[in-house]
Structure formats: structure tokens, C-alpha cells
Amino acid sequence: MKCIHYRGGYKYQLRAAYACVLPELADATRAPIVTDWIELDPDGTLRLRPGYACDGASGPTYDSKSSMRGAFTHDAGYQLIRMGLLPMSLRPAIDRAFRRICKEDGMWSARAALWYHAVRIFASPAADPARERADLHAPTDRCL
């Protein structure tokens, strides 16, 4: 039987590489972190490869151009925590970077503050290693 193996839960996918410096994560690691889709250097440079997927803004809100870079960056940081490559103690720094990037991209300060407080209060489970997205199989689970 021919099968497909995939993961769900994503709305957006990078068409080109993206890089930014996250001063909030400078010195978070002594050596570069390199995964299939994400790289993080000790100086805080984050690189996302083409094809990296993100679910955009979570919760009862909407995606906008001012939230996209922040959402991709935030998702990547939380993914590194879920993978055990960054400690959970860096979650507040990742949340601060999210707020800063959204404001840099023109998000209204009150909206950025609201989103920041929402991720601080509600997003902890999204960084939990037990929440790493499971591999899915089709047409049946017998494809394992």
C-alpha cells in the first residue's frame, strides 16, 4: 500500500529563507542549534529555511501582515523548546521577541500588548515537549 506521512496544524509556509537577530536569545546557547528547518546561533541569529511551516496567530484573533514575522519567529522558538533544544526558562524571552517584532512591523501597541499578555498567560502548553505535533499517516495508520 502506498502511504503518505505528514503533519497537520499549519496554515502558512515560508517560500524563501528568513533570518533575523533576536537579542532576547543572545547567549541562549553556546553552540549553534541546527534542525531541518530552524537554526539559532549563539548571537541570537535565527534562520528559518524555505518550507518552514507556521500556524499564524493562535486563539480568538486574526492574522495580519503585522503579525506574520512575529508568529513565525514565536513558533520557531517554541518548537526549539518542545524539541528540548532550548530550556522552558527562555519562553518569556521568546514572547518578548514576538511582541517587539509585531510592533516593529506596525502592529498597534495595544494589540501587541494584548497578544503578549495572552501568550504569557495561555501559551505555555504550546511549548510543552509533550505537545510536539505527531506524525500522521494516510490512507490508514497501518502505513507505519
Q: How far is residue 89's CA from residue 2's CA, in Å, rounded to a whole number? A: 43
pLDDT in tens, 87-112: 999 999 999 999 999 999 999 999 99
- Per-residue pLDDT at 123: 85
- Give ∠ CA 22-28-31 in degrees, rounded to 5: 105
| pLDDT surpassing 70 at residue 10 | yes
> What's the pLDDT at 132?
67
Maximum separation of any 2 CA atoms in the chain, in Å: 53
Angle made by CA atoms 95, 98, 102, in degrees to the nearest 5: 150
Confidence of residue 5 (pLDDT cuts 50, 70, 90): confident
Three cell numbers, residue 144: 507505519
CB 37 within 8 A of CB 51: yes
- Whether 141 has a pLDDT exceeding 70, the answer reads no
pLDDT digits (tens, 9 = 90+) for 31-88: 999 999 999 999 999 999 999 999 887 777 788 999 999 999 999 999 999 999 999 9
Vertex 18: Cα angle to 16 and 73 (nearest 5): 125
Mean pLDDT along residues 112-137 = 85
- Region 28-32: mean pLDDT is 94
Task: List all residues 6 or more positions away from 130 whose beta carbon is below 8 Å from its beta carbon.
Answer: none
Inform me whether the pLDDT recorded for 133 exceeds 90. no
